[in-house]
Amino acid sequence: MIIASFFAPREDRWGVDYIPLLRLLDASCRRYGIDHVCISDRDLKAVDTLVCKLPENLMLALLDGQRQCLEWAQGPVLFVGADCLIAKDPRTVKGGDLTITIGSFADCEMNTGAIWCHNPARCVPIWRAAVDSKPTEWGEDQTALYEAVKASGADVSRVRAEDHNWAPANEDDPAGIPTVVHFRGNRKRFMAQWARRWMDLAC
C-alpha cells in the first residue's frame, strides 16, 4: 500500500501553509511503515512527490491527479487529504475494488478524505468518468466521484466515516481516534496542536 495525498496550489481558501501539514501526514505514515507520496504539479521537496501534468481547475486537477496516481501505482492506494493524519494502521481496512467512507454530511454522504483503492486498475475508469463529467465548482469533485462510483459496477465497500475518516471538533477532542483523522475546513488551523497532543507528532 501507498498513501497518496494531493497538493497543487490553486487558491488560498483556508489561509494555512500546507507544507507543515504534509510533513505531519508523512510522519504519521512512517509510524506504520507505509510510503506516502503527494500528487502535485511541482516537486514539493518537503515530501516525496508524484509530479503530474494537471488542469488549472482545482476540482479537475484533484481527480485527474488521482487518476494518474492509480495508473502509476503498483499496488493498493489509500487517498487522503493533505489535511489528514494516519492514526491507525489503514491496512486493516479490507474491501473489494475500493472502500469509501459514509457519513451524515450535508453535501455528499461519501467524504473523500479517505478512499481505499484496493484494486487500482478497476478504479481507474471510475476516476476517468468523474473527470469526464467536468466538475469545476468547489465540492463537485466529491459529488462527481461518488456518482461515478455508484455507476461503476465495481465491488464497493462502505464503512462509517466516524470510524475511519473523522474530524475533531477542536484540539482537545480525540474524535475517537479514527483510522484517518481529517482536519477538514478551518480545523486545519489546529492540526499541528492536535497531532502533538494526541499522537506526539511534530514536524
Indicate whether 203 pLDDT > 90.
no
C-beta atoms surrounding 137 within 10 Å = 10
How many whole angstroms separate alpha carbon 91 and alpha carbon 68? 22
Residue 148 grid cell: 461515478
Neighbouring residues of 107: CB distance < 8 A, sequence distance ≥ 6: 139, 142, 143
Mean pLDDT on 146-159: 98
pLDDT digits (tens, 9 = 90+) for 170-182: 999 999 999 999 9
pLDDT digits (tens, 9 = 90+) for 78-113: 999 999 999 999 999 999 999 999 998 888 999 999
Neighbouring residues of 95: CB distance < 8 A, sequence distance ≥ 6: 116, 118, 155, 156, 157
Mean pLDDT on 65-74: 98
pLDDT digits (tens, 9 = 90+) for 15-53: 789 999 999 999 999 999 999 999 999 999 999 999 999
Domains, the chain = 2-199 (3.90.550.10)
User: From the CA atom positions of the chain, what is the Rg in Å?
Assistant: 15
The one-letter amino acid at 87: A
First-last CA distance in the chain: 23
Query: What φ, ψ does residue 42 adopt, rounded to 5°?
Result: -155, 155
pTM attached to this predicted model: 0.96
The one-letter amino acid at 155: D
Residue 203 grid cell: 514536524
